[in-house]
A and B are shown apart, each in its own frame.
Chain A
Amino acid sequence: MTNFPKPRYLAAGESALVVEFGDTIDPKIHGRVLALDAAIGQANWEGVTETVPTYRSLMIHFDPRRWAPEALADALAGLDYAAAPPRTRRHRWHIPACYDPPHSEDIAEVAALLGLPRARIIDLHEGARYRVYMFGFAPGFTFLGGLARELTIPRRAAPRGPLPPGSLLIAGGQALIAGCAMPTGWYAIGRTPVKMFDPRREQVLLAGVGDELCFERIDLAAFDAMSLAADAGEFCAGHEYLDET
């Protein structure tokens, strides 16, 4: 059995606690985050109001009348979550991606900053296989691991104005699909017509945490046609089940 290092318990104000398993993007770290999340879900403690799994930590929001951060950390330390949580069946999603203007606002800037040709950036982004690590920031913002190292670029020093939904963003060695128009400090290099989040759909979120995802290049005409279909409620994304190994 693997011996994991102890997590760090960090107060985030008087009403939230961060359990940090590491500071990198790593499937093993992410696995521990999801295991603790599942264990807390099972424990169903009164006053634990909400948990938010991320790449490397679990944010726990709680009622300060029921818990103090230290007491919650003690209770968590006594929880057995070494066994992996029961997983739902994993998918691999094929997400259409358009890298042509006007859907690639920042690609020239990224090319200049990284010293890479535009075509190479697209090849690297399209060629990788990603894992869905978390949703966060805004509805349907799908955070991915698996971005090519060559595309590591720091976030902007300050966030900029909103980009359209479906924007394919990179920064800080991470990739993500924007679920809605929000200000961001990331760089937009393409766009998908797929709605990762649509509250009108029965399946509000397209992908699940732990799923695999890859991009498939489309041109402007396909983007426009698929956007109409997506507006009408279609997924516009192919998928298959992953064989459990």
Chain B
Amino acid sequence: MRGGLRVLHAGPGATIQDGGRHGYQRFGVTPAGPMDWVAFQTANSALGNGRAAAIEVPVGGLEVICEGAPLALAFAGGAFVWRRDGEPLTIAARLLLQPGEVLAARAGDFGAFAYLAVEGGFETPVTMGSRATHVRSAIGGIDGRMLRAGDVLPAASTVRLHDASFEAIIDAPWLAPAPDPFRVVLGPQDDYFAAETLSAFFAGTFTLTPMADRMAYRLDGPEIAHARGYDITSDGTALGAIQIAGDKKPLVLMADRQPTGGYPKLGHVARADIGRLAQMRPGETCGFREASVAEARAALFAREDDEIAATIASLRPPRRALTSETLFAANLVGGVVDPLDSEQTGG
């Protein structure tokens, strides 16, 4: 029998995402796709998947039950607290969920998103070549909406046989928070800003405001004044574009960005750093650093070739049952409080 997950609880913003809907931006259709593509791909890679459809788990958490057949799953992302039938797991792992077992995630010490992938991907309907959900235009996922209790997510029917040794901890230090500024490639409208303004942007500290969703992250910080006004004739946008609207504050365009926009774009956050930016929570601070196209390319390739490609090599068998390996979580967030500590002290 074919397996699947039934949703018992889904926090607001839980969606199905794959590599995104490409080729339709010319009709105004947003590509969507994962907010943190690095964590999304890490979870998928642990299962040998490409950019297969996975669940994007928001801060509001997720609870699912396995139905029909055992499922090979993997999860990774921010420091979420994951539990199998109530027993705590690590923050990133690959496991075999048996029918009737419940897997639950809720936000932990850092991060805004986690990804739950299944071997072969979830087989929700394909719209315009993709399963990615864009809620604002009601395209993709299940009826173009967020997941909710009662939804059934069928897994791919071609699942290999696994034994208990399949279960493993994903040791992915590249998903840990880092204080480094985000790399920014200037343009295409950097000439709308004076040189001193650009210097102030790169010297400034910015705070993520509560106006942060899958479409864009609005930051607060030093004012970025335009030298030549803020109205441009609409042109195309790319992931990570830093728009400066009339309020002189940066608005970073994220996965659900609009395909075109009419505010000047100072630069673009390097794709290598977009995942880290996506994991910020309102109130957290960040900075930016200028990078050349060559540096941004090299950083992207290093992310893919040196880090995500190492996912399988990073898998470690749990010493005992995976559920008792909770202390390993501390390795991933070196220096940060163990998610279980906060779990115990936070209640």
Mark out the residues of chain A between 151 and 192 whose CB falls within 8 Å of any chain B CB in the assembled complex. Answer: 154-159, 162, 171-172, 174, 179-183, 185
Majority DSSP secondary structure for residues of A touching B? loop
Say how far B253's CB is from chain A's closest CB, in angstroms. 11
Mark out the residues of chain A between 30 and 78 whose CB falls within 8 Å of any chain B CB in the assembled complex. Answer: 49-59, 61, 64-65, 68-70
Mark out the residues of chain B between 213 and 258 whose CB falls within 8 Å of any chain A CB in the assembled complex. Answer: 215, 230-241, 245-247, 258
With A13-B270, A199-B127 as known contacts, state yes or no: A61 contacts B188, CB within 8 Å: no
CB-based contact A16/B28 at 8 Å: no
Mark out the residues of chain B between 242 and 283 whose CB falls within 8 Å of any chain A CB in the assembled complex. Answer: 245-247, 258-263, 265, 267-271
Interface residues on chain B, size class: 35 or more
For A, the interface residue count at a CB cutoff of 8 angstroms equals 58
Chain A residues, Cβ within 8 Å of B245: 155, 157-159, 185
Say how far A164's CB is from chain B's closest CB, in angstroms. 13
Q: Which residue of B lies closest to A51 (CB)?
A: B26
Q: Assess whether A25 is interfacial by the CB under 8 Å rule.
A: yes
Q: Assess whether B139 is interfacial by the CB under 8 Å rule.
A: yes
CB-based contact A10/B187 at 8 Å: yes
Say how far A198's CB is from chain B's closest CB, in angstroms. 11
A20 to B238, CA, bound (A): 15
With A12-B265, A50-B23 as known contacts, state yes or no: A59 contacts B185, CB within 8 Å: no
Stretch from B51-59, B163-171, B292-300, B331-339 at the A interface: B292-300
Q: Assess whether B30 is interfacial by the CB under 8 Å rule.
A: yes
CB-based contact A13/B27 at 8 Å: no
With A15-B239, A156-B246 as known contacts, state yes or no: A134 contacts B234, CB within 8 Å: yes
CB-based contact B297/A64 at 8 Å: yes
Q: Encode B197-211 as 1/0 by CB contact (under 8 A) with A.
A: 000000000000000
Chain B residues, Cβ within 8 Å of A156: 246
Q: Assess whether A146 is interfacial by the CB under 8 Å rule.
A: no
Q: Assess whether A204 is interfacial by the CB under 8 Å rule.
A: yes
Say how far A5's CB is from chain B's closest CB, in angstroms. 16
CB-based contact A13/B240 at 8 Å: yes
Q: Assess whether B22 is interfacial by the CB under 8 Å rule.
A: yes
CB-based contact B22/A205 at 8 Å: no
CB-based contact B231/A172 at 8 Å: yes
CB-based contact B235/A59 at 8 Å: yes
CB-based contact A13/B185 at 8 Å: yes
Q: Which residue of B lies closest to A37 (CB)?
A: B26
CB-based contact A20/B235 at 8 Å: yes
Q: Assess whether A141 is interfacial by the CB under 8 Å rule.
A: yes
Say how far A136's CB is from chain B's closest CB, in angstroms. 3
Residues of B within 8 A of A (CB): 22-23, 25-30, 127-128, 136-139, 185, 187-188, 215, 230-241, 245-247, 258-263, 265, 267-271, 293-294, 296-297, 300-301
Minimum-distance CB pairs A-B, first 3: A59-B236, A136-B260, A13-B268
11 contacts between A and B (CB under 8 A): A12-B241, A13-B185, A14-B185, A14-B271, A64-B300, A136-B28, A157-B246, A172-B234, A182-B136, A185-B262, A199-B127
